[in-house]
Every structure is written in C-alpha cells, then in structure tokens.
Amino acid sequence: MLPRLLATALSVAVVSAHLGPVHPSMYCYDGCASGTQGINYNNDDFVKPLYQMSKSDWWFHAYNNVPKYPPQAGQFLELPAGKSFTVEIASNRGETSYSFSGKFSSEWPDGGNYPEDYNVPSCITSPNMHTQNQSMAAGTAFAIAYTSDINQVTEDNLSVFTVRYHTPWKRETSYDVPADMPACPDGGCICAWGWIPNGCGQPNMYHLPYRCTVTGATSTKAIGTPQPPVWCQDDSSKCVKGPKQMLYWHQNDGDNIEVDGLDNAGQPKSPAYNMNCGFADGAQDDIFTGAGSSAPAAKVKTSSSSTSSSKSTSATPAAAKADSGSGSSSSSSPAVQKVAVAASSSSSSASPSSSSAPAPSSSSAPTCKNKRQRRKRAAEVAAGVAQHRRHAKHGF
C-alpha cells in the first residue's frame, strides 16, 4: 500500500487532482472507477471536475459511476440542527484521516504544507484550489433532498442549505446547519456538495452525492421548492430569496444559470456560492417556505440519543474494516472525533478563518519518511507552480 501511495497518489495530487469532501457517507467512498475492487485507499475518482458534459454524465458525477457506489449501510453525514458539521476536503482519500491512519494528511487538502497566507497571483495549483488565495476562493455548498432514493433527486428538490465562503481552502471544513432543518426519512436524505471555482483554471463544476441525516431536529418546517439562483452582484434586489437550487453551469445541457460580461472586479462573471448569486455565508435559514413536513422528527435512528450518535461517529473506515472481518482493534479517527466536537459546540465555527481546524493531533511526529516525503512534495509543488505558470497562459 505504502509504495503505491508514494508512487501514484502523491504525483496525482500535483498533476491532475482536484478537490472534493471525503467522508464515509459519500458515494464512491471506496472508489468507483471501472474495475474498482475492494477498497481503494487512494481513491480520487470523485474529484475529477465536470465540464461541458451532458446532464446524464455530470449529475452526481455519473460519468464514472459515482452514484452507483453507495456508502456502506449505516454511514450518514450527520447534520446537527442548529450546529455545524465538518468534512475533509481533499484531492485524494489517501490524504485524509480516512486512509493510512491519516499519516499522509496535513492541514491542507493534498497533504502538503503551505504558508497560512498562501498566495500565488497566477493561481494556486498545488493543491488545485482554483484561486489565488483564501480571500479569492469562490465558496462551496451542501444541498439536501428529502428522500433516501438518489434516483428521486432532481434540481427541483435539491436545495442548498449551507454555504461556506472562501472555500475550498484547508482540509477540514465546517458548514453550519439551519436550526429549523426537519428530520430525514429512516433511510436518510440525499445531500450534495457543489463548487464552481472563480476562474483560475478551467471554469468547471463539482456535484457529488452523500447520504446524510439531520440529527437533533425539532422543527417540522419543510424546505420549499428551490428556484434557480441568478447573478445579482450588480443589484441585490434581484437575488433569489428563499430556497435555491445548486448552481449548474458550463455543461452541455442542464445548466440553470447563464451569465455574460464582466463582474464588478472587471473579471468575467463566474457564478458561485457567494453573494454574487444571492447566497449568504453559513446556514441558509430562509429556505423553510414549504408546507409542514410529513417526516416526524423522532423517527431518525441516529438522532435519538447521544449514545447512538457517538456510536455512529466512531464508525470510521478502520472500524468498518474491522467489522468486515479483519478483527484488528480500531480506534475512532481523530477527524471524526473532531466532527463530534464541532457538532457539540455552538455554531461559533462560522467564520472562514476558524473553519479550518488544525490537522488531527494523531498525525505522527515527523519520521525520516515524512521528511523525505515533504522535501519531495516541496519540489513537486515548485514544479507544479512553474508548470501552472506556463499553463495559465494557455487557459488551463
């Protein structure tokens, strides 16, 4: 495993990888490329961007079968009503806490180390964040559909419920859940993560599915029917209020937004999960415009008690592996514990700067191998930046 990671994942991270949130509740968690067998601890099948594809290919990243590889039974992205949850945005599962005990992960999405004020005027490409620096990062979002059947989800019932400005940036990223989120059906809801970068490379799109559930729900207000967002940087009265669809852009069909001309900064308009398209940062509290929800709050298994909640948060890949027969003793992963911490604290993690938690404390002290790896990575980063500078001129 180790030689494979060093030989493939690390170079992939520099050459072609993009970013997506890794979590055991994601579709394609263990890999989904054709021929995938068993668990691919270096899985990056889900991070490939979507650009000028037909809707049947881009919807939930179907072109390489992401929706056909559901998460293991019992795995949910838990959305604590009125609090926040944390995912690990990475270019490869191998660079998160969910593979190799997190030893190839860092504070950053590709396991590398970069300055806190990382800034590359010609665009950061390692990790491939499609931005010059944190303040220019376009923003990302999670949306939810109140069905357990991924095939029942369309743009008409997938509503953005949380947005985090200035992301993707660090690996651990937190999103706030509206206090009024109603409970999901027994089998959970379907969530989706979206990102449209603001230039700095190919103007592509991300649309990834997760199985999620709302914990601690007390409200039964339903989310209304989401409307397509519109560009409203020039006139905030034009912004769509209430529930909004995710942004679908630059595909061959299925787009729900068109823009032309330049934005206020003189750059080509690029729709994104920020105020330019009417999305506030944090929990989208204005989405509960529907009729009363039919889902009774008490029905969701994982929200019934703190016991069951701690049980589900300990269901790490390691634990799942042990369940399936290896019998090795498994401890819960630090990042998952962090999710629980984030969930139990109030929504104070709302600001972009505090949303980037430090790397898991278990990431082992530097070993010779790690140092070598870092040196190698530093060289690769330098090469990547240089390569990007060349590519930037050609519109990559």
Ligand X SMILES: *[C@@H]1O[C@H](CO)[C@@H](O)[C@H](O)[C@H]1NC(C)=O
Q: What six digits make up the tokens of 217? A: 């729900």
Q: Which of these segments, 149-157, 241-249, 282-290, 291-299, binds ligand X (CB under 6 A)?
A: 149-157
Yes or no: say if 377 and 369 are a contact pair by the CB < 8 Å rule: no
Residue of 189, 377, 352 lying closest to 281 (CA atoms): 352
Q: Rounded to the nearest whole angstrom, what is the least distance from the CB of residue 143 to ligand X in the complex? A: 13
Q: Among 3-11, 128-136, 211-219, 338-346, which window interacts with ligand X (CB under 6 A)?
A: 128-136
In angstroms, the CA 253 to CA 334 distance is 41
Using CB under 6 A, pick the residue from 119, 252, 345, 346 that binds ligand X: 119
- The nearest distance, CB 145 to ligand X, in angstroms, is 6
Q: Residue 215, interface with ligand X (CB under 6 A)?
A: no
CB of 107 to ligand X, least distance (A): 18
CA separation for the pair 156, 188 (Å, rounded): 18
Residue 98, CA distances (Å) to 193, 253, 319, 333, 382 in order? 19, 35, 11, 8, 27
Q: Is 374 exposed, middle or buried (0-12, 13-18, 19+ CB in 10 A)?
A: middle
Among 19, 87, 136, 192, binds ligand X (CB under 6 A): 136
Q: Which of 3, 35, 38, 121 binds ligand X (CB under 6 A)?
A: 121
What is the smallest separation between the CB atom of 34 and ligand X, expressed in angstroms? 29
CB atoms within 10 A of CB 16: 13
Q: Name which of 121 and 325 has its Cβ closer to ligand X.
A: 121
Q: Which CB sits closer to ligand X, 225 or 348?
A: 225
HSE toward the beta carbon, residue 258, CA cutoff 13 A: 3
Residue 314 CB, nearest distance to ligand X (Å)?
30
Q: Considering the complex, what minimum distance in angstroms separates the CB of residue 119 from ligand X? A: 4
> Which residue among 156, 234, 253, 258 contacts ligand X (CB under 6 A)?
156
Q: Token pair of 389, please?
A: 């500078």
Nearer to ligand X, 77 or 200 (CB): 200
Looking at beta carbons only, is 132 or 313 nearer to ligand X?
A: 132
Task: Tell whether residue 148 is a contact of ligand X (CB under 6 A).
Answer: no
Cα–Cα distance for residue pair 131/121, rounded to 1 Å: 9
Contact stretch for ligand X (CB under 6 A) within 132-140, 200-208, 267-275, 282-290: 132-140
Q: What are phi and psi of 311, to 5 degrees?
A: -65, -45
Q: Is residue 154 close enough to count as binding ligand X by CB under 6 A?
A: yes
184 binds ligand X (CB under 6 A): no
132 lies in the binding site for ligand X (CB under 6 A): yes
Instruction: Find how far residue 315's CA is from the centre of its chain.
Output: 19
As a whole number of angstroms, the longest Cα–Cα distance in the chain is 60
Side by side, which strands form the sheet with 189-195?
A: 77-80, 206-215, 189-195, 140-145, 159-164, 282-283
Q: Does 56 bind ligand X (CB under 6 A)?
A: no
**Residue 152 interacting with ligand X (CB under 6 A):** yes
Q: Please say which residue, 5 or 212, places its beta carbon nearer to ligand X.
A: 212
Closest CA relative to residue 170, chosen from 17, 377, 357: 357
Number of residues that bind ligand X (CB under 6 A): 12
Q: Which of 204, 271, 205, 275 is nearest to 237 (CA)?
A: 275
Beta carbon nearer to ligand X, 132 or 215? 132
* Footprint on this chain of ligand X (rule: CB under 6 A): 119, 121, 132-133, 135-136, 145, 147, 152, 154, 156-157
